[in-house]
């Protein structure tokens, strides 16, 4: 019986604890970013690392631009190109995902993503660009957290 208890601990309790701790980390970061600007994102750190492989002194520099100062034309263009239902969904646009899945199945390879601006922000803030079902599931969870705590303007501001 002791072996079954240890097996249960390592196969069930430990993974659930690790996953819960990771979600709490994401939750705390998102809550903080409601009124504080992120210093860097996972995407920025990955790009900087790739740059430093070629030039060790390379650094990414950026200037934060508040939502009010972002061009309305740029806002409309990004929404039109990336997520035309941005103001209507709660982080995940299931219809767009279904269309992308059908398109990819027809072509036999990934040609369309179907991710919303919120999902892309979730990926850029926390995740790698790797394509996997686990990463996509985590992206869904983070997208819903972002939509729960932030208004659309804040999500869009951080995204840009």
- What would the pLDDT profile of 132-144 be if each residue is shown by its tens digit? 888 889 999 999 9
Q: What is the pTM of this model?
A: 0.84
Q: Which of 43, 47, 49 is nearest to 124 (CA)?
A: 43
What's residue 91's pLDDT?
A: 94
What whole-number distance in Å separates Cα of residue 149 and Cα of residue 155?
A: 10
pLDDT bin (cut points 50, 70, 90) of residue 80 is: very high
What whole-number distance in Å separates Cα of residue 108 and Cα of residue 105?
A: 5
- What would the pLDDT profile of 41-72 be if each residue is shown by its tens digit? 888 888 888 888 998 998 888 899 999 999 99
Task: Look at residue 124 and tell me whether its pLDDT is greater than 70.
Answer: yes
Number of domains observed in the structure of the chain: 1
- What would the pLDDT profile of 24-45 be if each residue is shown by its tens digit? 999 999 999 999 999 888 888 8
Domain limits at 118? 2-159
What whole-number distance in Å separates Cα of residue 157 and Cα of residue 160?
A: 5
Q: Where residue 64 sits, what CATH number does that domain have?
A: 1.10.3810
What whole-number distance in Å separates Cα of residue 40 and Cα of residue 62?
A: 9
Section 104-113 average pLDDT: 81
What's residue 1's pLDDT?
A: 62
Section 138-158 average pLDDT: 96
């Amino acid at each position: 019986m002791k072996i079954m208890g240890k097996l249960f601990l390592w196969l069930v309790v430990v993974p659930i604890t690790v996953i819960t701790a990771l979600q709490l980390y994401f939750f705390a970061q998102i809550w903080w970013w409601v009124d504080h600007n992120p210093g860097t994102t996972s995407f920025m750190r990955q790009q900087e690392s790739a740059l430093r492989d070629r030039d060790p002194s390379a650094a990414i520099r950026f200037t934060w631009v508040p939502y009010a100062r972002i061009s309305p034309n740029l806002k409309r263009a990004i929404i039109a190109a990336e997520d035309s239902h941005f103001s209507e969904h709660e982080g995940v646009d299931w219809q767009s995902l279904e269309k992308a899945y059908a398109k990819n199945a027809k072509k036999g390879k990934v040609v369309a993503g179907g991710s919303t601006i919120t999902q892309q922000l979730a990926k850029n803030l926390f995740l790698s660009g790797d394509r996997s079902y686990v990463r996509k599931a985590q992206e869904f969870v983070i997208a819903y957290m972002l939509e729960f705590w932030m208004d659309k303007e804040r999500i869009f501001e951080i995204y840009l």
